Amino acid sequence: MPQPLWIWIQNLLCVVVLILGPATAGFGDTLEGVSRWAVQVLGGALILRGAWLGIAGVRDLGSSRSPHPQPLERGQLVTRGVYARVRHPLYSSLMHVAFGWAVVWGSPAAMVAFVGLTVWLIAKARLEERLMRGKFPEYVAYQKRVRGF
């Protein structure tokens, strides 16, 4: 698959989650015995955690960051900071924010779009990891030591 297509589809899925949240808000109000306010606080916490993961991932990756699965020619393997705890903090960030967004709005439709986004990001991560193993022989040990998401 062409490299830009990975990004276009990822961005499209993110926009779908964003639009479906408020567009179908409230359809998830069928949680008996659970305060809607508590659910929204949980969703907000997920969004904040996702934002933190994204900011930390961008900071720690620095000039080795690329939106494409193919590692940059001049890129280096980063295993410090947030990358010492999770191999894909930027993908994890998107997953946390999308899930939190769907929860905040109480939107099953946004939840379905979140699942699609997650499946897409997992596929992208698998491709990226195969390419990383080819460029960085030490990536195999890193994979064994650090969880993916």
Instruction: Decide if 143 is inside a domain.
Output: yes
Task: Kindly report, residue by residue over 63-117, the tens digit of the pLDDT.
Answer: 999 999 999 999 999 999 999 999 999 999 999 999 999 999 999 999 999 999 9
> What does the pLDDT look like over 128-140, one tens digit per residue?
999 999 999 999 9
Domain contains 17: no
pLDDT at 28: 55
What is the number of domains present in the chain? 1
Considering the domain boundaries, does residue 118 fall inside one?
A: yes
Q: What is the mean pLDDT of the chain?
A: 94
Residue 110 domain flag: yes
What pLDDT sits at residue 30? Answer: 59
Q: What is the mean pLDDT of residues 45-73?
A: 97
pLDDT band for position 38 (cuts 50, 70, 90): confident
pLDDT level of residue 145 (50, 70, 90 thresholds): very high
Query: Is residue 91 a part of any domain in this protein?
Result: yes
Q: Looking up tokens 């994204």, which residue turns up? A: 54
- Indicate the residue type of 38: A
Residue 146 forms part of a structural domain: yes
Give the per-residue SS3 of 28-42: CCCCCCCCHHHHHHH
Neighbours of 18 (CB within 10 A): 17
Q: Which residues are bridge partners to 86 per DSSP?
A: 147
Domain span holding position 51? 35-66+77-149
What is residue 35's predicted lDDT score, i.e. its pLDDT? 79
**What percent of the chain has pLDDT above 70?**
95
Over residues 4-25, the mean pLDDT reads 96
Q: Report the predicted TM-score, pTM, of the whole model to 2 decimal places.
A: 0.92
Domain assignment present for 81: yes
The tokens describing 25, both together, are 């808000």
Q: What is the CATH number of the domain that holds 126?
A: 1.20.120.1630
* Residue 46, domain member (yes or no): yes
